[in-house]
Amino acid sequence: MGPDGDALGSMLALGLALRKRGMTVNASWGSDPFSVPKHYTFLPGQELLKPPQDFPAAPPLMITFDAGSIERLGTLEPNARKAETLIVVDHHVSNDEFGTLNLIDPKAAASAILVFELIKRLGIDLDTEIATNLYTAILTDTGSFKYRNTTPPVHAIAAELLQFDIHHDDIARTVFDTHPVGFLKLAAVALERAQLRDDASMIWTWVAQDDLKRFDLELEDTESLIDILRTADTAEVACVMKQGLDGKYKASLRSKGNANVGAVAQQLGGGGHAFAAGFTANGDPHAAVDEIARRLATA
């Protein structure tokens, strides 16, 4: 899977800022095949992007964004291990401080909040391109300024970013309100077969590779399915099990605030935040859902 809006927006924002300082910047992530998720191709600074195989093997400085552990870097993990200086910029509470320098604040609404502050402290001027990346990252991780992490300073930073000529209406529409028609049809199928688990106050559904083929979709097109599912009035937790090209199911979990899905995901080999988390299941999705439900019921 490619990066989310916070990971990519944070990376491109700091990459553009450091380039203004005259640094040579390569931006990448460790997934194969390497392609920018469709929703984020509008982000400025795409020219900084390089596939992981072209990324320096032992960079003098490497900065990671929004990754809680070195394994999350995928095929770029060896590069990080060989980096002379490794700066970790993140806001996951589970971050294990794998950098030589760690800039981690679990209270930050997005990694982009830390990047914003870092750019300021470096004395680099913001511009429209940097502001577009930071705004998109914050928009993504606050769910359009709706989640509990949306504090007064988050709004203050967003206000500062809006001083630049960024098109926040276009950004919101591109990131959240644009789908292939096939997605709407897939959502109808997936929502129709959603199941309630009253024992765990959870609603869940699944998307198989066959479903994606039927509607000519890729996995990344299904990112917002969970945002519809999690509106169910009688469920505290929503879960979508999504089958990858390797056949394995990846769980996406969301909580309305009372259940800590990050803790459950971490117990099952993944991670995330208290209200948004995920992991990869080893076998049958039904068995994985039973396991989630059991852990939620006893939490």
Q: Which does 37 bind (CB under 5 to 8 A by kind): ligand 5GP, Mn ion, none?
A: none
Q: Can residue 223 be called a binding residue for Mn ion (CB under 5 A)?
A: no
Judged by CB under 6 A, the chain residues 78 through 117 that form the site for ligand 5GP are 92
Could you tell me the smallest distance in angstroms from the CB atom of residue 271 to ligand 5GP?
Answer: 3
271 binds, among ligand 5GP, Mn ion, none (CB under 5 to 8 A by kind): ligand 5GP
User: Binder to Mn ion among 14, 66, 187, 236 (CB under 5 A)?
Assistant: 66
Contacting Mn ion within 6-25 (CB under 5 A):
6
Tokens read off for 116: 């914003």
The least CB distance from residue 106 to ligand 5GP, in Å, is 12
Binding partner of residue 270 among ligand 5GP, Mn ion, none, CB cut-off 5 to 8 Å per kind: ligand 5GP
φ, ψ of residue 135 to 5 degrees: the values are -65, -45
Residue 264 exposure: Cα atoms within 13 Å on the Cβ side:
31
Q: Which stretch binds Mn ion (CB under 5 A): 62-70, 78-86, 181-189, 201-209?
A: 62-70
Q: Which among ligand 5GP, Mn ion, none contacts residue 280 (Cβ within 5 to 8 A by kind)? A: ligand 5GP
- Contact partner at residue 44 from Mn ion, ligand 5GP, none, CB < 5 to 8 Å by partner kind: none
- Binding piece for ligand 5GP, criterion CB under 6 A, among 36-44, 186-194, 274-282, 286-294: 274-282
Chain residues 3-42 in contact with ligand 5GP, contact rule CB under 6 A: 4
Binding partner at 252 among ligand 5GP, Mn ion, none, C-beta below 5 to 8 Å by kind: ligand 5GP
Q: Does 285 bind ligand 5GP (CB under 6 A)?
A: no
Cβ 171 vs Cβ 135: under 8 Å? yes
Q: Which is nearer to Mn ion, 6 or 236 (CB)?
A: 6
> Does residue 289 contact residue 283 with C-beta atoms inside 8 Å?
no
Number of residues that bind ligand 5GP (CB under 6 A): 13
Closest CA to 261 of 234, 287, 235: 235
Judged by CB under 6 A, which of 49, 249, 279, 293 binds ligand 5GP?
279
When the beta carbons of 45 and 271 are compared against ligand 5GP, the nearer one is: 271
Both tokens of 244, joined, read 């990858």
Which of ligand 5GP, Mn ion, none does residue 68 bind (CB under 5 to 8 Å by kind)?
ligand 5GP
Residues from 128 through 167 that contact ligand 5GP (CB under 6 A): none
236 lies in the site for Mn ion, by CB under 5 A: no
Cα–Cα distance measured from residue 111 to residue 10, given in angstroms and rounded to the nearest whole number? 6
| Dihedrals phi, psi of 217, to nearest 5 degrees | -120, 160
Q: Pick one of 3, 15, 44, 271: the residue that binds ligand 5GP (CB under 6 A).
A: 271
Residues that bind Mn ion (CB under 5 A): 6, 66, 111, 141
